[in-house]
Amino acid sequence: MDNRVKDLLDRIRGTAGVAADVAADTARVAGRRAGQMVDVAKLNVQLFDLNGEYNEVLRQLGQVMYDTHRGRAPEGDRVTELLEQADERAERIAELKARIADLRQAESCPHCGAPCGKGDKFCRSCGAKL
């Protein structure tokens, strides 16, 4: 076989190998990104449910206040109990929103796959340019 043909085939093999590596890296990054999107969706479902619970506690608190206004005293320390429930749910809502924001801002390094911030210019793990 002619040396030029052999050289050409070697270069084609090399280029095909590089293309395969790039495709594999792209698939890994896409997989990680899809995983992040699934995590955000799960957290959004939890947030939706928690907001519903929070609104129900606020509704009950409003009912107790209205009943008190109408002269029907609440049983026990119902107001304090409801306020504690509202505070706890509001805290959990804030935590979920922070986790969602973190996941949305995270990007994966195309070289090593480590999570990086949206504004990062270089990977924190491997130092590659983003």
Provide the whole-model pTM: 0.63
Give, as one character, the DSSP assignment of residue 129.
B
109 class by beta-carbon count within 10 Å (0-12 exposed, 13-18 middle, 19+ buried): buried
Q: Which among 14, 24, 39, 16 is positioned nearest to 101, based on CA atoms?
A: 39
Please give the distance of CA 95 from its chain centroid, rounded to a whole number: 12
Q: What is the pLDDT of residue 1?
A: 61
pLDDT of residue 96: 93
- Where residue 119 falls among pLDDT bands split at 50, 70, 90? confident
pLDDT over threshold 80, residue 84: yes
Spatial distance between the Cα atoms of 29 and 35, rounded to a whole number of angstroms = 10
Please tell me the distance from the alpha carbon of residue 114 to that of residue 31, in angstroms, as a whole number.
13
- For the domain spanning 34-117, the CATH number is 1.20.5
Among the ranges given (7-21, 81-95, 99-113), the one the predictor scored with the smallest mean pLDDT: 99-113
pLDDT (tens digit, 9 = 90+) per residue, 55-76?
A: 999 999 999 999 999 999 888 8
| Phi-psi sector, 106: left (phi>0), alpha (psi -120 to 50), beta | beta
Distance CA 30, CA 59 (A): 43
